[in-house]
Structure 1
């Protein structure tokens, strides 16, 4: 596998790891399918070297052409004059054409050159195919990096607003703050994982297995779980708020904390222990062992299903409330209000993840990555924008605080002006009094008359 293909594998592994619906590929070892080709290639080279060592130690096999490794496959020992043919199907899975053959003659001078070459016989078109793919994944990495960075900044700002202003200290905003914090963890986990696993393209990701990379992947999986469960808590809280007239919100708040943080912690601990004792290979960033992967995937899928049911029920409750006689307006205004409410609830409930939640794993791979990773990276920004910065109460409070700050600044400025004016007036009056003080008049007159007296004498 060339350096270009290794970069493509690295980027593909990086993109697919971020999506929780990554496809399962059966393998004898828990490594990425693309890495399995590398393992197969290395094993074939090792076997060929073992055969060559055995032939060198066996004097009866010194005649003819010995076994040789040509960086692609092993050519076994042949007699002089023998023509050896190899099918493309028996060489590597990288070749597109499995019907071609490569030939090689054993001459007195040793093995002849290959004819035709691997590229010609097996349609080895890796260079033309992988370079655009590498560019695509590199550009897509920049997109989700920008998305998570934007979400991170906006979420931290939203938490600051909800925390600083005491008016926003309520159960609803406490739940929003925890949801925002789960999004922050998710964005931070992506940056940490990229920094640990993919900071150096020269690293061999197929055989990388360190404590730091396993910890980064475990933290990433925990942040994903916490994010989905806090989306579920938002749905549960909203349905409780709409369905029950009188409810003690503080009574249920600690249950929400237990669901949002307690369940993900329990699940990720079970996953870590299972991986450590049953499948402690690589950086734990694969999904080849199905029963271990379902420890994480099953709770996420269940939370999405429950949230979808809650979403439908909330829409039903909103329709009933909008159609009630006490609510004024025509059908068009009701429809607009319902459509607006639905659009606001989609990012809050994470309903865009439902598009591929129950479809086969290999269905729409590119669209799945775009929706779950591309759009998902901006989800935190959208949630912070809709439920904080575009919220009417937040905007009113910010305007009120801004007007109060302006008023205080103006009053402080006016006070300084009055003080300065008073001090200036006092100084002016003192100066005038000093100039017109009667104590200075006799001396002045004495100084004036003295010369006259002298002249008179």
Structure 2
């Protein structure tokens, strides 16, 4: 029995490695549990039926269901018919029905049957395990740089403007996205003993819902950045504060409405598992359709912005040759790609399982560092920010130097005053006796 339990543990570990790496596909586990349930149902029927009391009753050995047979019969089964996890080899196992009941399994499962190990699945598991370290480092780097960038934009009053307010909201959406990834990994994959196939707690559903909301908010704030830039280029005079609250409504209000509709639909129509699957198409499109639409609109804005930049560079008032114009255009395009999230357009309109490795590399690998790149380009490498930081640093150095010089002068003045007083005390006539006084004193002593 210990051997059978050990084999069951091995099978579950094999399934766990695949589900953790590939996102759960628990068909084999479900089939195994269904077979166990059916076996116990047959056994219950036999117990209720008196005519089936003879022979060896139905037996579930945690791997296979052995149906009732009469005494003296031998049941022989090939390994391929035992479980899908066993290789389709020539091995067989059998049991004898004796007067004392079922005999021991001959030979044991681990001796007769070869566990089916998919080398490609193992390689993919290793690849995804290593890739998890990459996106963890990427999101951690983005998290630190984004928090620093928000601090810079918030502390210095010079940067308090509509453009930077939109940047701050975009940075915050990236922070939510990075935090949601860490929370989701912590809740779903921190404990290897969790049965992920049937995990359906409130905590894991909340983690997945928060993750989906952060993704939606991030895409819509990328859309807001594109809309804002389009507005600046298209309209010469525009009251930016007038449109700011519309941007807030699009960036936070629309994702909130979408995720609320998704949660309610999921809860009433497909409330199973941890809500991290995409089995029901119409429920998944509640989230995917708005994201795809935002990417499409942002792509159109991106093309229009590039067109406007080309027109401005070709205008007579702009100096330089064709090479300098091309360099400016290339630089502007590269700056706009991470801000608009154009790298997501590669797989935006393709099925979910198309180019899985490339999709993972672009959406997780590059996506995890997108927050860092955006903070770097639009905060730390910004000329105004660098000039203000240099100015504040120079001012801090000057104040520190002046404070140090003042302290040195004060100490020098106090030291000079003490020195002068000590010199005057040493040269005071009260502490010295004149020769005449010494003579008078000696005469007085002699007279006594």
Q: Per the shorter chain, which TM-score range?
A: 0.7 to 0.9
Q: 1:5 aligns with which of 8, 14, 26?
A: 14
CA distance 1:196–1:324, change in 2 (3 Å): same
Shift of residue 410, structure 1, vs aligned partner: 0.7
Structure 1 partner of 2:409: 418
Verify: 1:147 aligned to 2:138, yes or no: yes
| 1:11 and 1:137 in contact (8 A); partners too | no
TM-score by length of 1: 0.86
Inter-CA distance 365–85: structure 2 relative to 1 (3 Å threshold):
farther
1:321 corresponds to which residue?
Answer: 312
Larger mean CA deviation between 150-159 and 374-383 belongs to 374-383
Q: Distance in 2 between matches of 1:92 and 1:236?
A: 56
* SS of 1:206 mapped into structure 2: helix
Following superposition, the deviation at residue 111 of structure 1 comes to: 6.1
Written as runs of structure 1 = structure 2, the 5 A alignment for 1:59-98 is 59-79=50-70, 92-94=83-85, 97=88
1:319-347 superposed Cα distances (whole Å, 9 cap, x missing partner) = 11111111111111111111111111111
The residue aligned with 1:23 is none
8 Å contact from structure 2 (residues 91, 112) kept in 1: no
1:400 paired residue number = 391
- Mean Cα deviation higher: 102-111 or 211-220: 102-111
* Shift of residue 173, structure 1, vs aligned partner: 0.6
Could you tell me which runs of 5 or more consecutive residues in structure 2 were left unpaired when the two chains were aligned: 1-7
Matching of residue 353 in structure 1 with residue 344 in structure 2? yes
Question: Which of 380, 395, 401 is residue 371 of structure 2 equivalent to?
Answer: 380
**1:174-323 map, 5 Å:** 174-323=165-314
Q: Which residue of 1 aligns with 2:360?
A: 369
Aligned length: 436
Distance 1:134 1:3 in 2: 15
State the match for 2:3 in structure 1. none
* 1:178-213 per-position Cα deviation (integer Å, ceiling 9, x unaligned): 000001111111122222222211112222222222
In structure 2, the residue matched to 1:453 is 443
Deviations along 1:238-293, one digit per CA (max 9) or x if unpaired, are: 11111221111111111111100110111111111112222222222221111111
TM (normalized to structure 2)? Answer: 0.88
Q: 1:4 touches 1:131 (CA, 8 Å); kept in 2?
A: no
**1:428 counterpart residue number:** 419
Of the structure 1 ranges 274-283 and 250-259, higher mean CA displacement relative to structure 2 is found in: 274-283
| Stretch of structure 1 that moved more, 70-79 or 149-158 | 70-79
Q: Report the 3-state secondary structure (helix = DSSP H, G, I; strand = E; otherwise coil) of the residue aligned with 1:357.
A: coil
CA distance in structure 2 between the aligned counterparts of 1:448 and 1:282, rounded to whole angstroms: 112
Q: How far apart are residue 236 of structure 1 and its match?
A: 0.7
The answer on whether the counterparts of 2:19 and 2:26 sit within 8 Å (CA) in structure 1 is no
Query: Which residue of structure 1 aligns with residue 148 of structure 2?
Result: 157
Alpha-carbon distance between aligned partners in 2 of 1:355 and 1:309, rounded to the nearest angstrom: 14
Deviations 1:140-194 (A, max 9, x none): 2222221111111110000000011111111111100000000111111112222
Question: How many Å separate the matches in 2 of 1:265 and 1:160?
Answer: 26
Residues 100 and 370 (structure 1), Cα distance of their counterparts in 2 relative to 1, 3 Å cut: farther
1:96/1:124 contact within 8 Å kept = yes
Change (3 A) 1:103 1:204: closer
Of residues 193-202 and 52-61 in structure 1, the stretch that sits farther from structure 2 once superposed is: 52-61
Instruction: Give the Cα–Cα distance (whole angstroms) in 1 for the partners of residues 177 and 111 of structure 2.
Output: 44
Confirm or deny: 8 A CA contact 1:85 1:103 kept in the other structure: yes
What is the CA distance between 1:61 and its match in structure 2? Answer: 3.1
C-alpha distance in 1, partners of 2:384/2:317?
24
Separation in structure 2 between the aligned mates of residue 102 and residue 52 of structure 1, nearest angstrom:
24
Q: How far apart are the structure 1 equivalents of 2:17 and 2:93?
A: 31
Q: Give yes or no for contact 1:83–1:103 (8 Å, CA) kept in 2.
A: no
Deviates more, 1:43-52 or 1:133-142: 133-142
Q: Which moved more, 1:248-257 or 1:277-286?
A: 277-286
